[in-house]
Amino acid sequence: MPPSRCAHKMSRRKKTERIEALVTFMETADRQAMGARLKEIWAIPQSTITELRLLLTMGADPSCLYEDEYGRKTLEDRLELGRVCEECAPKWQAFIDHALNVHEEMWEKKPVLLGKRRGLVALCLDGGGMRGLVSIVCLLFASRRLFGNETLPNCFDWLIGTSTGSVLALNLAKGKTASECFYDYWKMKNKIFDENGSTMSRLLGDQVRIQTQSMNKVLKESFPTQTFQQCSRRLTVPALDIAYAPAKLHIFRNYSFTLPFGAALPDEDINFRDAARASSAAPTYFEPHAMGDHRFVDGSFVANYPLNILFKEYDQFAKHGNPIDLSGVLSIGTGEPAVVQRKYKCGTSIKSRAKNITHVTTLILEQVVGQDLTAVEMASDRCAAHGIPFFRISPVGINVRIDQTDDGKLMDMVWTTLLYLVNNLELIDSLGNFMNSIHSEPDSDSRRRSNTVL
């Protein structure tokens, strides 16, 4: 008799095996093949909603589910036989309600055609651990909607990334597509983070040392030989040097404030993996990264939203008599949590004091992983004052741990991201209008254009 229990109740090992097999298939499959696989998986009792969401995210056409109402009828049969539980039923229903719209809005807009470029366009990528998947999906969606392919990251002359954003920025600088970055991140989580880890095991056990070794191995595999001075685009990666007190901001860069870009620099060349490791060394997750007399920790402590670093560098060019023409800025976040009222009570008992310490710890962590939008507001104001178009894309409703390894929870996060993008298409389309304008008006002054804040 066919199984009557919901697939989400399978062991984690079996679910992981299914996801790994699917990801291996998708890495080489085209959209047509992924669409056929989606229809096949829809009716398999052992399939999970995570598999379907993965396929849709990476380009599968869900139209087959709507022919003769195949998707709805099959779902009704699964519900009737108890193969989808009450907990999962809303997710399956939401998929059939929204999948076609998500696909159409991602793919079926007339592509933007670009001509000759002018001015520098900067891409700023926030920190946030595994929430970096949110940034990648935003890039994927925007690129497919605007160009019908994955060329959007190639439109940026200046890449600035903090923590997980530095890993993404350097992978894009290396020439990887957004899809390749997605697959890398998806597989990277289980290579680096302990799925059974906890705060106490990180603080009192050996987990930090083990995760550090794993991180070093992953970065060495990702960036075996790439260096900053070999890169044809401007790169900026911040970290915090704690070798001395007080700690000091350190910026890895491949340009000089006084020399033409591309000129040989007197400073020692930096490996991609060292910069990424330094900027991603989140305390309690990884050990500090040692380089000579320096000891680096996560750049999120000083710039989880690296917009302030962008404008610090921008001002340095002007200070040294070598101003640059910044035509526009795109800032992509790793998601913001939904706004809720915080429960915070003071007290004098030991229990109350312990709760207060927990609240303060949470507040500090929020600052580190980027839940303070002050930097974005200041950047928006700065761009408005100087007539520089500014765009910010960061889905709301994302509340996932930076070391999350659960496939289902990560795909819940990705699904939230897709729905946010579909509901905020004006963000993407305004970016497309801007990209078109800086290619079609080669003689106009970029500083005279009106500012766009999203």
Is 298 an active-site residue? yes
Exactly one of 61, 126, 184, 298 is catalytic; which is it? 298
Residues 442 and 118: beta-carbon distance below 8 Å: yes
- The answer to whether 34 touches 60, Cβ cutoff 8 Å, is yes
SS3 content of the chain, % helix, strand, coil (to 5): 55, 10, 35
Query: Do 383 and 326 contact (CB within 8 A), yes or no?
Result: no
Whether residue 163 lies in the annotated active site:
yes
**Cα–Cα dist 101/381, whole Å:** 34
| Residue 449 · residue 386 · CB < 8 Å | no
State the residue for tokens 């304008």. 437
- Dihedral pair phi/psi, residue 262, rounded to 5°: 100, -10
185 with 134: CB under 8 angstroms?
no
DSSP 173-238: HHT--HHHHHHHHHHHHHHHS-TT--HHHHHHSSHHHHHHHHHHHHHHHH-SS-BGGG-SSEEEEE
Catalytic residue among 47, 135, 143, 163: 163
Please state the length of the chain. 454
Q: Are 329 and 390 in contact (CB under 8 A)?
A: yes
Residues with a catalytic annotation lie at 163, 298
